[in-house]
Amino acid sequence: MIKGSNVALVTPFKNDKLDDETYIKLIHFHIKNGTNGLVPAGTTGESPTLSHDEHERVIELCVRESAGKLPVFAGTGSNSTKEAISLTSHAENIGASGALIVTPYYNKPTQEGLYQHYKSINDKCGIPIIIYNIPGRSVIDMSVDTMARLYELKNIIGVKDATGDLNRVDQTLKKMGKDFIQLTGNDDNALEFNKRGGVGAISVTANIAPKLCSEFQKFSIMSDEKSISEAERLDKILQPVHHSMFVESNPSPVKYAAKLLDLCNDDVRLPLVKITDPTKETIKKALLSAKLI
């Protein structure tokens, strides 16, 4: 249902308001350039500073414009269970393929609290749910055992793993088997992640290099020697780009890269700010090395 290169879509702004026209163009850019799935309203889409109406709007536009050509897994997480249910229900009602739901940030729930949070969403909604485990932003870390409990529920189908711990792939595969979808949230570890049993990524870099990212994912998921060799070649091209995307806080770097490619401007909402000149040079060099500019 969801595998390969899935883009964590940026949200373009113009005069601090949603730039619908540019956003629609971005969606069609990905449809035409090999992206395997769309993930609107996530962290890369600046969901923390979107109003509720804006949050729903970017998901609606994504579902409408993709028109079933690509799966849309909408970012509908919140540290309020009631709010997450509301956002997920909205995504379901407008035809999203599924939901990406982040572990509740700031509240620091226990493992039982995490279980009950996702179970409540599962019980109130009817679309597939990908758990988004990102301790670096949420502070809490969902255990493999908690994920295994959640996998017994009807709608929980996989995880976006942004722990950076590749051993988690092995542990999760052993506990839940191959049908539990494992996607990395770290572009830079995608090769090894897939070698261990992952089936793709929810990618920041895919915003600016959709063809490269989708080709890399296609080959890295295959197990034959020739495909792995090609995946390794593409990974070497992409690594400088991946690293440049996180020199400063995401999504400021990727929005600047998108500006260089005439995809959108580099406006971000406070408390994020535009990147510094040294970071701009790092990104330009990375894009040049990958022949993206």
Phi and psi of 67, rounded to 5°?
A: 50, 40
CA distance 238 to 252: 19
CA atoms within 13 A on the CB side of 71: 19
Catalytic (active site) residue 160: yes
The answer for residues whose C-beta is within 8 angstroms of residue 56's C-beta and 6 or more apart is 87, 90
Kindly state the tokens that stand for 287.
């894009």
Count CB neighbours of 18 within 10 A. 18
Is 218 a catalytic site residue? no
The alpha carbon of 97 is separated from its chain's Cα centroid by a whole number of angstroms, namely 14
Catalytic residue among 115, 118, 151, 160: 160
Residue 55: half-sphere exposure toward Cβ, Cα within 13 Å: 22
Q: Can you count the helices (H) and strands (E) in the chain? A: 12, 10
How many Å apart are CA 291 and CA 286, to the nearest integer?
9
CA-wise closest residue to 127 among 152, 100, 155: 155
Torsion of CA 63, 66, 71, 76, to 10 degrees: -30
Torsion of CA 137, 140, 141, 146, to 10 degrees: -140
CA angle 257-216-252, nearest 5°?
20
């809490």: which residue's tokens? 140
Dihedral (CA of 5, 30, 248, 239) sign:
positive
The active-site residue, picked from 118, 132, 151, 256, is 132
Active site residues: 132, 160
